[in-house]
Structure 1
Amino acid sequence: MGTGSRIAVALAALTFAGTANAQDRYSEADFAKVAKFDAHVHYNYDSPAFLRIARDDGFELLTINVDYPDFPPLDTQARIAEKYHRLDPEHLRYSTTFSMKGFGTPGWTKRIEATLDRAFANGAIAVKVWKNIGMVETDPQGKRVFLDDPRFDPVMAHIKKAGVPLIAHQGEPRNCWLPLDQMTTDNDRSYFREHPEYYMYLHPDEPSYEMIMAARDKFVAFHPDLPFDGAHLASLEWNVDRIAEFLDRFPNAVVDMAARMSELQNQSGENYDRVRDFIIKYQDRLMYGTDLTFSPPDANGRAQNPPMTEEFTKEADDMWRSDWRYLATPRSQHIDAIDADVKGLALPRAVIDKIYHDNAYRFFLHQK
């Protein structure tokens, strides 16, 4: 074969490989066509607007009730979640939670079990525990309560018996323990600037990041048969190798990406292959989520993470499309949270399908 023929064959092979690679991944034009599941949102506003934009963009939603002072009361959150679940059960599902009020006093466990049973009867498919456990709550003796406290065990046994998973937001991003100028993302800077009560750098006498993570890990190890969703990349967002260690150690655990995409983008900017290889290796253990918060507009409201604006539907659409661009396509985009241009990971279609839909269906709905 002559030199010209060999060059022609090589060029044809490269063209075929490029075409095959393109066929193996989605494009931006596929965004609204592909079935997707946002496994971490907060639907706190009695309005159908969130559902409308979700349907338009091809999303189902899991709204998560949280005992968070900046959110409406728990009964209001539950009422809204149940209302829109009844109106559109195919596009909105919800996770319940429980109040820590009265923890450690007689009757608390039975009250919580009854509360959970009512929520399950009304459609709740998961239970959320929040960062107040480990960072805020104390027992009647004034002792800080961590998730590995054995007084939680009867409630966890009740959740397991009901056949629903636990979603756990434990701790905070590691940025929470760093000075503002050492944080890796602007969204963390704005959140902790507005929420000094949760900014542990300002409270050196409070439990350390390592202490809270250790208590969480002890809990997961003690409940190996309880399906466990480590919300926000299990608060290990700063290092994909640490997330991998967590997933390797706990086969009952998955993690969601809610409010931590910029941390993955920051790491992929430093080592693209490391982040892409991590996602492909753990494609069965990762779930897409945003932490989008749909609450009544409040001019005096403090910064959310991600932020909440009066133009919520545009915010949701913009965030979903930006994340799709990063995960599904090779296109670069500027990410304001890290003030950097970030190249898309162009993950294979099969990986995108799992992260965006199949893993959540298997974990929360027991469907393949």
Structure 2
Amino acid sequence: MIFQFKRILQPLILVALIVMQLGCTSKNEKQTEASETQDSCYTLSDFKFVPKIDVHAHINVEGRIMIEQAKAYNFKLMVMAVDVVPEYPPMEEQIRVRIKHHKENPDVFAFTTAFTLEGWDEPDWSDKVIEQLKRDFENGALGIKVWKNIGMGEKDKDGNLIMLDDPKFDPIFRFVKEQNKVVLSHAGEPKNCWLPIDEMTVNNDREYFSENPEYHMYLHPEMPSYEDQINARNNMLEKNKDMTFIAVHLASLEWSVDEIAAFLDRFPNASVDVAERLSHLQVQSIKDRQKVRNFIIKYQDRVLYGTDFQELENTNPSELKEGMLKTWMQDWKYLNTDEMMTAHQVNAEFQGLKLPKSVVDKIYRINAQKIFPNAWEN
């Protein structure tokens, strides 16, 4: 009888211990978050006064809407040139505009350059690109941006898509490394791009791919897969592990903080920016806020704030200023408070992450300053 009682009692004790442990873990997580954030978090009212850097912006005109808005709200800008045809001006014009703004606003405006694939099949294509980059670096460019047209649009003379791990890029990336400049890459698209519109996880992707069906890969099964795009980018990085690299848009791994973490672990000189992908973290916060928060805290030295704002010839000034402030404040609220909130991009309520000030300062400023030292002259 005693033996049978012990057999019954032992499992019950084990279950009780597990429940107690789970309760303690949950309680300890809450206590840890409270101790991290008590009296050490920014508030909404702090937004305007905290120094900040947006590492992902586009200005293609001599207008100053974004520059003046940045000055008003304590932002500095990293403005990228991109090989986007025909939406953006020719590369020479993009660089001219950026050099002008940089000379006139060195305390706010820094920039990176880019190159086109024009003449790709010519044997000296890489040499010509390097000559252009030399001039751009001498004129103040701090790195280069490669865009999704590599892998999703541009083809060689035989009709084959040009992928980012093509050996013809090797001397270019080697030159950028030798010059101590930075490579920024928009590789592929969000994983949603390979899904039907109604299965996508965020509204901004539904809107973009509805309006740009040429980039909606679900409609183009003949094109490389999502995995093909990610692998090409990673193959390039395997050849350049010592290169300072920013994988913009959360490295196109926005759908999973576990995947982003694995990417950052694999490539120790890589960072990610959150431009136009913060909504994907918000979606994940709905299911497991603590996991998202833990990810950002663990990789706080590798995450950069960016927006992907752009100022073009046909930009409406009031709409741009209003949109910038709305996005800035929504992002700030998500990262700095624990309030329940909504966003146009997400079809459910989610809770802010309430990150410590030290983490927020890295995401919004310190990490960018380390990658681009002396970029913004005071």
Q: Are residues 1:335 and 2:376 paired?
A: no
Where 1:101 maps in the other structure, the secondary structure is: coil
Taking the aligned partners of 2:113 and 2:321, their CA distance within structure 1 comes to 24
**Equivalent in the alignment of 2:263:** 246
Question: What is the CA-CA distance between 1:96 and the residue it aligns to?
Answer: 0.2
Taking the aligned partners of 2:76 and 2:120, their CA distance within structure 1 comes to 34
Taking the aligned partners of 2:110 and 2:374, their CA distance within structure 1 comes to 14
Letter in 1 for 2:225: S
Tell me, yes or no, if the aligned pair for 2:36 and 2:356 is still in contact at 8 Å: no
Taking the aligned partners of 2:171 and 2:60, their CA distance within structure 1 comes to 29
CA offsets 1:212-266 (integer angstroms, 9 cap, x no match): 1111111111101111110100000000000000000110110010110100111
**Equivalent in the alignment of 1:293:** 310
Taking the aligned partners of 2:72 and 2:133, their CA distance within structure 1 comes to 32
**Equivalent in the alignment of 2:9:** none
Taking the aligned partners of 1:317 and 1:124, their CA distance within structure 2 comes to 27
Of 348-357 and 97-106, the range deviating more from structure 2: 97-106
Taking the aligned partners of 1:214 and 1:310, their CA distance within structure 2 comes to 41
The change in CA–CA distance for 1:149 and 1:90 in structure 2 (over 3 A counts) is same
Taking the aligned partners of 2:151 and 2:335, their CA distance within structure 1 comes to 33
Which of 44, 55, 58 in structure 2 is aligned with 1:28? 44
CA offsets 1:284-331 (integer angstroms, 9 cap, x no match): 000001111111226xxxxxxxxx886101111111111011101222
Q: How does 1:249-260 map to 2 (within 5 A)?
A: 249-260=266-277
The normalised TM-score by structure 1 is: 0.90
Taking the aligned partners of 1:40 and 1:330, their CA distance within structure 2 comes to 26
**Equivalent in the alignment of 1:346:** 354
Taking the aligned partners of 1:145 and 1:356, their CA distance within structure 2 comes to 34
**Equivalent in the alignment of 1:301:** none
**Equivalent in the alignment of 1:320:** 328
**Equivalent in the alignment of 1:64:** 80
Tell me, yes or no, if the aligned pair for 2:37 and 2:354 is still in contact at 8 Å: no
Taking the aligned partners of 2:123 and 2:35, their CA distance within structure 1 comes to 66
Question: What is the CA-CA distance between 1:332 and the residue it aligns to?
Answer: 2.5
The change in CA–CA distance for 1:366 and 1:148 in structure 2 (over 3 A counts) is farther
Where 1:63 maps in the other structure, the secondary structure is: strand
Q: How does 1:30-45 map to 2 (within 5 A)?
A: 30-45=46-61
Taking the aligned partners of 1:20 and 1:241, their CA distance within structure 2 comes to 23
Which of 213, 235, 238 in structure 1 is aligned with 2:230? 213
Aligned sequence identity (%): 43
Letter in 2 for 1:95: T
The change in CA–CA distance for 1:18 and 1:224 in structure 2 (over 3 A counts) is closer
The change in CA–CA distance for 1:309 and 1:342 in structure 2 (over 3 A counts) is farther
Which of 69, 77, 81 in structure 2 is aligned with 1:53? 69
Tell me, yes or no, if the aligned pair for 2:253 and 2:259 is still in contact at 8 Å: yes
Q: How does 1:1-368 map to 2 (within 5 A)?
A: 21-69=37-85, 70-297=87-314, 311-365=319-373
Taking the aligned partners of 2:103 and 2:219, their CA distance within structure 1 comes to 43
- Which residues of structure 1 form unaligned runs of 5+? 1-13, 299-307
The normalised TM-score by structure 2 is: 0.88
Question: What is the CA-CA distance between 1:350 and the residue it aligns to?
Answer: 0.4
Taking the aligned partners of 1:324 and 1:310, their CA distance within structure 2 comes to 21
Tell me, yes or no, if the aligned pair for 1:28 and 1:324 is still in contact at 8 Å: yes
Of 337-346 and 205-214, the range deviating more from structure 2: 337-346
Tell me, yes or no, if the aligned pair for 1:104 and 1:151 is still in contact at 8 Å: no
Taking the aligned partners of 2:34 and 2:352, their CA distance within structure 1 comes to 16
**Equivalent in the alignment of 2:10:** none
Taking the aligned partners of 2:88 and 2:201, their CA distance within structure 1 comes to 26
CA offsets 1:153-209 (integer angstroms, 9 cap, x no match): 111111111110100000000010000000011111111111111110000010000
The change in CA–CA distance for 1:197 and 1:310 in structure 2 (over 3 A counts) is farther
**Equivalent in the alignment of 1:7:** none
Tell me, yes or no, if the aligned pair for 1:97 and 1:127 is still in contact at 8 Å: yes
Q: Which runs of 4+ in 1 moved over 6 A?
A: 17-20
**Equivalent in the alignment of 1:9:** none
Work out the number of aligned pairs and report it. 344
* Superposition CA RMSD, Å: 1.9
Question: What is the CA-CA distance between 1:333 and the residue it aligns to?
Answer: 2.1
- Which residues of structure 2 form unaligned runs of 5+? 1-29
Question: What is the CA-CA distance between 1:340 and the residue it aligns to?
Answer: 2.2
Where 1:72 maps in the other structure, the secondary structure is: coil
